[in-house]
Amino acid sequence: MRHLLFNCLASAIGLIALNTACTADNEEDRFPPNENGDTTCYEGSIDFEAHIQPILNAQCLVCHSPSQGLGGVIIESEEDLAAYARSGVLEEVLFELPPSSPRKMPPGTELSRCDQETFRDWINAVNEE
């Protein structure tokens, strides 16, 4: 009996923890699995205006708009960002540097899984052109 109670409590606590982990990041809601069970981050083929611009607006332009230009970096157009994608710098600052590096982007925070996947797909597309 004791065991049963303990197990129930443990699984209830486990469920609460699991649930908190899930709701802390509601990408499941934004990107529900499609009919094949895939969790995709965007519709159709990768597109700068539709898929990258919203991430820039939310995560990058507070520092890299023309009026800010932190680190001397202004991201005003697709071409501005594509130049960093072609040189390999974008991949480096987003994915390769440790969080402790001052060049790690965005500084002090992690992009969501979908934002990372979307950036990766766009960088690959730019480099395949």
Q: 74, 80 in Cβ contact below 8 A?
A: yes
**Is residue 54 a contact point for ligand HEC (CB under 6 A)?**
no
Q: Which of 14, 33, 66, 71 binds ligand HEC (CB under 6 A)?
A: 71
46 versus 105: smaller Cβ distance to ligand HEC = 105
**Tokens (6 digits) for 70:** 């932190």
* Residue 119, C-beta contacts closer than 8 angstroms, at least 6 positions apart: 52, 55, 90, 94, 111
Q: Tell me the one-letter amino acid at 14.
A: G
Q: 16, 24 in Cβ contact below 8 A?
A: no
Q: How far is the CB of 69 from ligand HEC (least distance, A)?
A: 9
Kindly identify the residues of this chain, within the stretch 94-113, that bind ligand HEC according to CB under 6 A: 102-103, 105-107
User: Which residue's structure tokens are 């925070």?
Assistant: 109
41 versus 89: smaller Cβ distance to ligand HEC = 89
**Is residue 70 a contact point for ligand HEC (CB under 6 A)?**
yes
39 versus 59: smaller Cβ distance to ligand HEC = 59
**Is residue 122 a contact point for ligand HEC (CB under 6 A)?**
no
Contacts with ligand HEC: how many residues (CB under 6 A)? Answer: 17
Q: 40, 34 in Cβ contact below 8 A?
A: yes
The count of other CB atoms within 10 Å of the CB of residue 76 is 13
Q: In the complex, which residues of this chain contact ligand HEC (CB under 6 A)? A: 59-60, 62-64, 70-71, 73, 84, 89-90, 93, 102-103, 105-107
